[in-house]
């Protein structure tokens, strides 16, 4: 019987509504996603149902959007550009209300058995240089962006 790794779960709180949190995660992803966590040093963006990395004259697909349920959730078939087309995991991003002016952004990555060396990939995404670093960059950008938009805070 094949070994199946459990889903990887990471979350962070932002001091804004799920609507704004979703907008920052999706339409502004190219402004906050750490360049060191891209495959080719490019910037990410959602374009026509795909999460793409644009670098120099090339476009590399990171994910195919399966479900776009703004402002509640986003589901992607996630593929590192170095992997074959069928070697994808699932990435679910949920935006859950947390009080009147907060949201929990929850990322769940699953389907590790479909990629090469699933244990190493799970450790990579679960470590400090994976979803933790992504969420730290995201929460920092959201906090900074909201402070700029609302200087009275």
Contact 114, 88 (CB under 8 A): yes
pLDDT at 153: 40
Per CATH, the homologous superfamily of domain 8-149 is: START domain (3.30.530.20)
Residue 151's pLDDT band, with cuts at 50, 70 and 90, is: very low
In the predicted model, is pLDDT for residue 132 greater than 50?
A: yes
Per-chain mean pLDDT for the chain: 86
Residue 106's pLDDT band, with cuts at 50, 70 and 90, is: very high
Dihedral sign of CA atoms 95, 99, 137, 123 in order: negative
More confident residue, 144 or 92: 92
- Cα 80–chain centre separation: 13
Q: What is the pTM of this model?
A: 0.87
- Among residues 21, 13, 42, which one has the least CA distance to residue 30? 42
pLDDT in tens, 63-95: 999 999 999 999 999 987 667 778 889 999 999
**Where are the domains positioned within the chain?**
8-149
Residue 152's pLDDT band, with cuts at 50, 70 and 90, is: very low
pLDDT at 1: 41
Range 30-55 average pLDDT: 90
């Amino acid at each position: 019987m094949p070994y199946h790794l459990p889903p990887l779960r990471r979350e962070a709180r932002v001091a804004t509504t799920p609507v704004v949190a979703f907008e920052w995660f999706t339409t502004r992803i190219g402004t906050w996603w750490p360049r060191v966590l891209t495959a080719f040093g490019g910037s990410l963006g959602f374009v026509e149902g795909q999460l793409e990395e644009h670098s120099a004259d090339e476009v590399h697909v990171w994910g195919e959007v399966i479900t776009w349920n703004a402002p509640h959730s986003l589901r992607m078939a996630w593929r590192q550009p170095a992997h074959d087309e069928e070697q994808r995991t699932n990435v679910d991003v949920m935006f859950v209300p947390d009080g009147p002016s907060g949201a929990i952004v929850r990322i769940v990555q699953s389907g590790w058995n479909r990629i090469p060396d699933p244990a190493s990939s799970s450790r990579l995404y679960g470590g400090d240089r994976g979803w933790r670093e992504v969420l730290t960059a995201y929460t920092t950008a959201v906090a900074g962006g909201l402070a700029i938009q609302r200087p009275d805070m």
